[in-house]
Chain A
């Protein structure tokens, strides 16, 4: 089955820790995206990547970092510089830039 997987489903972070959220897709999509969603709110773009070894900042990139070493994988690191990281994180992919985006199940991050 083709799809997008995210892990873990739930993640707890202590103050000052970096954590990495995994996103993998087997849809052979070129473009991948990371969004943040706060409770009751819409989506905000963190980073996006159109091809391997290239990525661009979205609207709220501060305190986050990404890599795109393989077409299938786009991990997101939430660094200690992100002061309020508690949120629902969604990864998405699309065939070409900005065609229909398909979403993973999400990772819920909580700061302890």
Chain B
């Protein structure tokens, strides 16, 4: 079964803290995407990871991809309230008949 699992699904944290969201997937892929969704809004592309060992950073967010472990991480450094949102990972798996397989999303709440 083609699956993408994110954890945690819900995260409440204080401003200034660091934390990591994990995205595991079930079969081979070297193409993974992270998106952000604000409440009631559409999805915004954050990171595109296209090879093993890829690392991308934007502000306080850093994403990485380990294709051997079938794992991507989204690391938040010194969180600020504006990063509160739901974060989705999506994987273009080799066996997926060209569909993106989506994680369930991680709802992140950052308290002042």
B88 touches A100 (CB 8 A): no
From DSSP, what is the main secondary structure of chain B's interface residues? Answer: strand
Kindly state whether residue A103 has any CB partner on chain B within 8 Å: yes
The winner among A98, A101, A102 for most chain B CB atoms within 10 A is A98
Which chain A positions have C-beta within 8 A of B31? 98
Return B44 CB to nearest CB of chain A, in Å. 8
A43 touches B99 (CB 8 A): no
Total count of chain B residues near the partner, CB < 8 A = 20
Total count of chain A residues near the partner, CB < 8 A = 19
B98 touches A103 (CB 8 A): no
Known: A42-B104, A98-B31, A100-B33. A48 touches B45 (CB 8 A): no
B10's nearest neighbour on chain A, judged by CB, is A40
A53 to B31, CA, bound (A): 27
**Which A residues lie at the B interface, using CB under 8 A?**
40-43, 45, 48, 50, 58, 90, 92, 97-98, 100-106
